[in-house]
């Protein structure tokens, strides 16, 4: 069985009503610039996810040379939130398999564009 991930860039309940952000080099430049130069791994993570949505944990590890992705994503998100973006992950619909065909705990990482307002803004 293959993994089936919704590749739509439209907001939906699965993505928490956020949209997947696939950005050009010009669009990603201000996001990378907002992250401190002392966090080059976080900068690499933003650059990679801007063009590679739904990247599996192992692909992010290899492509960005990051051991603890969530630590770098957390550091990046502190700066990205104010710009209307965030890095997040989700479990795939079907667990990814390792080379021995065993289920893994890998997640799928993406850069998301935050909604303009919260879903419950009209209630409060």
**Residue that is written with structure tokens 């009503």 in the block:** 17
DSSP, res 113: E
- Going from the C-alpha of 109 to that of each of 44, 86, 90, 98, 100, the distances in angstroms are 13, 11, 7, 17, 23
Q: What is the pLDDT of residue 27?
A: 96
CATH number of 15-89+99-115: 3.40.50, 3.90.1150, 3.10.450, 3.30.70? Answer: 3.90.1150
Per-residue pLDDT, 115: 83
Measured at the CA of 46, the angle between CA 94 and CA 51, to 5 degrees, comes to: 65
- pLDDT of the residue at 47: 97
- Which residues lie closer than 8 Å to 43 by C-beta, 6 or more apart? 32, 35, 37, 76
pLDDT at 101: 94
pLDDT at 124: 55
pLDDT for position 55: 96
pLDDT, averaged per 10 consecutive residues of the chain (124 residues), comes to 47 63 95 96 97 96 96 97 94 92 94 76 57
Write down the domain spans for the chain: 15-89+99-115
């Amino acid at each position: 069985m293959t993994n089936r991930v919704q590749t739509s860039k439209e907001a939906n309940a699965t993505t928490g009503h956020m949209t997947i952000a696939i950005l050009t080099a010009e669009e990603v430049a201000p996001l990378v610039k907002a992250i401190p130069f002392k966090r080059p791994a976080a900068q690499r993570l933003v650059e990679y996810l801007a063009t590679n949505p739904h990247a599996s944990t192992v692909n992010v590890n290899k492509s960005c040379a990051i051991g603890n992705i969530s630590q770098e994503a957390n550091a990046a998100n502190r700066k990205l939130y104010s710009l209307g973006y965030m890095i997040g992950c989700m479990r795939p619909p079907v667990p990814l398999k390792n080379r021995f065909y065993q289920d893994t705990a890998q997640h799928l990482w993406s850069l998301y564009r935050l909604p303009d307002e919260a879903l419950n803004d009209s209630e409060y």
